[in-house]
Amino acid sequence: MMKYAVFIVFSSLFLTGCPELGSHYGDESETLLVDHYKVQCDKDESRLCFRVREETTDDWEVFEEDFIGFSEFEWGYRYELTVNTSFDRDGHPESYELESVNQKDPVTAENETFSLTLYSDTGILQSLDDDTWSLNGDVSFACAPFCTDIQTSVSNGYVLQLEFTAREGALTLDSFICSSDEDGFSSECAGESEERWYIAHFLSDCGASEPTLCYLYKVNDSDEYELLPLEDGIEGFTYGWGSRYDIRVTKTVSAAGNITAADLLEDDSAPESRIGSNYTFLFVVNGEAVDDSSGGSFTMYDSAESFDCASYSQCSQIDEYILDDEDNHQPEWLLLKGYVDTADVVIVDIICHEEDLDDFRDCVADEDEEEDIYWGI
């Protein structure tokens, strides 16, 4: 009897010493947000990929996998999906299967336009007839008045940058920005240039359809700060409230003159501290992104930053503006005055509050003269 027990013990030790034999990663449900257009997955293949993120505050990422069962995607709509993620033996995601479409919302007018960089030598651009082209058979668009430009570029195997508008499932070509061979694309086509930027020591709402915080920047110290409306922020840049940064970036500008991307080139190793009540500032907040106060402070925009509303007795007033009688969030724009303390952002005063955005713009224009900020909302 004893030798059987010994055999069982040694067998158990052998198995537990090889964890891969018993590893199991169960399926997992998760929520993903899908952007309103697709991009070329890789410069070496013609597939189109979704842009996804988990939270509205996250950067969009190119998602190279397929969603099994998600066949209803239409250009011009943003989606919230619940997907079932399966994992391989090593714990890496292996497949994604659609469980439900939770939301499908048409993108707002200010977000409809975007640019695509297309490597035509992969065959991603397909001519359907003299006036119509397709993006890898996924969606078609009329090429006028740029048909000849596109045909010439594709014939030469060039990289193209095209500007589109996506609306209600349809794709419209707005502009032929540029085309070049791959070696010369960055310098000739992408509109890239280096620039020195000063980044303000606070953030403010971008004024877009979805509540998002943006950096404020200026090129010259004597300039007004203005919002930097980039969903993906500055690539490679780490930010903290209460510090004013002097950095160099490589910026990308579209043919329409809009900044479409920024990459950190040179960081500020010793940013200037702007902590304390001597450094007050005004910033815009979308009330729908503000959590009601608790314990004398609140959070907003899914940020970990804490906002102290108790020190200047602002908590109940802010709660009153952002919540209705049943404690549900309601539309309300706020212009707040604050400063960064060692631990929190302290709210000193509520300068403006309006439900109507046009009325709010008027109030902001009257109140922010001394701040030298171009809000652009």
C-alpha span between 313 and 320 (Å, rounded):
13
The percent helix, strand, coil of the chain (3-state, each to 5) is: 15, 45, 40
Hey, what are 239's tokens?
Answer: 């930010």
CB 214 within 8 A of CB 204: yes
C-alpha span between 250 and 235 (Å, rounded):
10
The pLDDT of residue 56 is 80
- DSSP, collapsed to helix, strand or coil, labels residue 271 as coil
Hey, what are 256's tokens?
Answer: 């329409």
Domain borders along the chain are 28-107, 113-188, 192-273, 281-374
Write the CA distances from 106 to 39, 69, 73, 163, 173, integer angstroms: 18, 21, 12, 19, 18
Hey, what are 347's tokens?
Answer: 């709210």
CB 263 within 8 A of CB 292: no
Residues forming beta bridges with residue 247, ordered by sequence position: 197
- pLDDT at residue 177 is higher than 50: yes
The pLDDT of residue 10 is 36
Q: Which H or E run includes 149?
A: helix 147-155
pLDDT, averaged across the chain: 86
Write the pLDDT tens digit of every residue in 314-346.
999 999 998 776 767 777 899 999 999 988 999
CB 176 within 8 A of CB 146: yes
The pLDDT of residue 112 is 84
Write the pLDDT tens digit of every residue in 57-109.
777 889 888 889 999 999 999 999 999 988 877 777 778 899 999 999 998 87
Count of CA atoms in the C-beta half-sphere (13 A) of 139: 23
For residue 114, name the pLDDT band (cuts at 50, 70, 90).
confident
Q: Give the predicted TM-score (pTM) of the model.
A: 0.56
State the pairing for strand pair 213-218/225-228: antiparallel
C-alpha span between 358 and 151 (Å, rounded):
45
Write the pLDDT tens digit of every residue in 352-364.
999 888 888 888 8
Peptide bond preceding 145 in cis form (omega within 30 of 0): yes
Write the CA distances from 217 to 64, 157, 184, 234, 256, integer angstroms: 33, 38, 29, 11, 20
Write the pLDDT tens digit of every residue in 245-281.
999 999 887 755 678 899 999 999 999 999 999 999 9
C-alpha span between 117 and 62 (Å, rounded):
13
- pLDDT at residue 205 is higher than 60: yes
What's the residue count for the chain?
Answer: 377
